[in-house]
Amino acid sequence: MEQAIFEERRDQIHRKGEGPFELACNRDSLAGAVSQRACVFCGSRVVLYPIADALHLVHGPIGCAVYTWDIRGALSSGPELHRLSFSTDLQEKDVIFGGEKKLKAALLELIERHKPNAAFVYATCIVGIIGDDVGAVCRDVAQQTGIPVIPVQSEGFKGNKREGYAAACKAMFTLAGTGDTSGISPVSVNILGDFNLAGEIWIIREYFKRMGVEVVANITGDGRVADIKRCHGAALNVVQCSGATMELAQMMQEKFGTPFLRVSYLGIEDMADSLYAVADHFKDRDPGIVERTQALVREELSRLLPELHKYRQDLEGKKVAVYVGGAFKAFSLIKAFRHLGMKVVLVGSQTGTKEDYEELAAICDPGTVIVDDSNPLELSKFVKELDVDLFVGGVKERPIAHKLGVGFCDHNHERKEALEGFVGMLNFAKEVHASATSPIWRFVPRREAMAKARETRTAKRAAGGEGI
């Protein structure tokens, strides 16, 4: 273990039960460590990209625009402008003489061609270096076209992914409060921090509908500019990915007085608790909402639990490593794996806060390794050391799992299978079962060697030897 950890990163790794819990986090990644964490620009795009009827223009070199092409499973029920990739493609000449004219020309052409309801312009590293006044160009184009043209101050070098979340929230906040709120129910919510991966936000909206709750705005999965403009009329914000959109919820509470709840739609307990929390918030306005919510949860669990029991029989005792983007996912995953009889032995995230990790440590089993902003060297070492059966992560972790002969479950933004809600828990169990119990792992050299070692120990014990 010692050789796999950079000296500068020792305070970002903790094994529960070995001394007091202290974990450094939310700091710039270590140079040369091939960090799993992304830049400010990436963070802003993660949040804003699913707004389907807006134009998303990257002001910078063409390389940055690679990140925009269909990187998420964020589905739309209507327009799909968000799935197109646009860039000003800054060249050497633009770096020397400035790219403002090129930006304005690109915006005018794209707005004329695609007729978006708003435009987001993302400033990249090079734009911050050469000093283009993106805000001034956006104001000029907005005045000419009559639609909101919003600068996103997402220069990559300003910090890490969390800074990008903040830039995205500030951009969206310029829209909030500008739309008509007439006709909005007093029992209404905005869904914050869900990006409609594989259509998940439609599952959650259906639950709210059955409870009698109106959803005003999806922020940002399957999002619409007009809904964000009137989102201040909702009675409550429910915030799932606390890192990505918590700042927007806080700004709305300060300016419009909109309260918010932190929720999670992953796993049985968190899904049920989230629905009950919303019902409890509105019970004075709608006395029947608690009873409807209880009926909804009972109905869903009556279908789900017998199915989970079937999968648990094969999965009992298997070990899991979890490394995800936001720490909120890790909380829910630990609980979900306990329903399947599996044990999480390694858990971490790219963007967790001190409070997140303290909460994470409280629900982990003794001996669990907790990491922040880990790198492939560390992850590989721990996966082998802890004899993991399943690795849950994103696209960057998949090669690690496959090279080490470990089952893999995609729980990041590229996934095409809905994992939220009660039906999502069943989908999750099916995927975990298929990955962890695949017969292919019998032929992995590492597994084969470990199986032989266990047989040898068993034989020694039977013969009266040490066999330890």
Q: What sign for the dihedral angle of Cα 99, 102, 108, 109?
A: negative
What pLDDT, on the 0 to 100 scale, is given for residue 128? Answer: 94
Q: How far is CA 395 from CA 107, 399, 411, 433, in A?
A: 32, 8, 9, 20
Q: Which of 191-195, 231-235, 374-378, 455-459 has the lowest mean pLDDT?
A: 455-459
Distance CA 298, CA 259 (A): 28
Comma-separated ranges of CATH 3.40.50.1980 domains in the chain = 40-173, 188-301, 305-448
CATH superfamily of 188-301: Nitrogenase molybdenum iron protein domain (3.40.50.1980)
Token pair for 137: 């160009």
Q: Residue 19's pLDDT is what?
A: 84
Q: Can you state the percent helix, strand and coil of the chain, rounding each to 5?
A: 50, 15, 35
On whether the 40-173 domain is CATH 3.90.550.10, my answer is no
Contacts with 422 (C-beta within 8 Å, 6 or more apart), sequence order:
268, 271, 300, 301, 303, 304
pLDDT digit string, tens, across residues 288-331: 999 999 999 999 999 999 999 999 999 999 999 999 887 778 88
86-87/55-59 β-pairing: parallel
Radius of gyration of the chain (CA): 24
Q: Are 309 and 302 in contact (CB under 8 A)?
A: no
Q: Which residue has the higher pLDDT, 429 or 465?
A: 429
pLDDT at 166 over 60: yes
**pLDDT tens for each residue of 202-220:** 999 999 999 999 999 999 9
Whether the model clears a pTM of 0.85, i.e. scores above it, the answer is yes
CATH of 305-448, one of 3.40.50.1980, 3.50.50.100, 1.20.140.10, 3.40.50.1100: 3.40.50.1980
pLDDT at 38: 74
Q: Is the pLDDT of residue 468 over 60?
A: no
Q: By C-alpha distance, which of 427, 422, 430 is closest to 210? A: 422
Residue type, 28: D
Span 130-151, pLDDT tens digits: 999 999 999 999 999 999 999 9
For residue 223, the 8-state DSSP code is: B
Residue 311 · residue 425 · CB < 8 Å: no
Mean pLDDT of 31-56: 83
Residue 22 carries which side chain, given as an amino acid letter? E
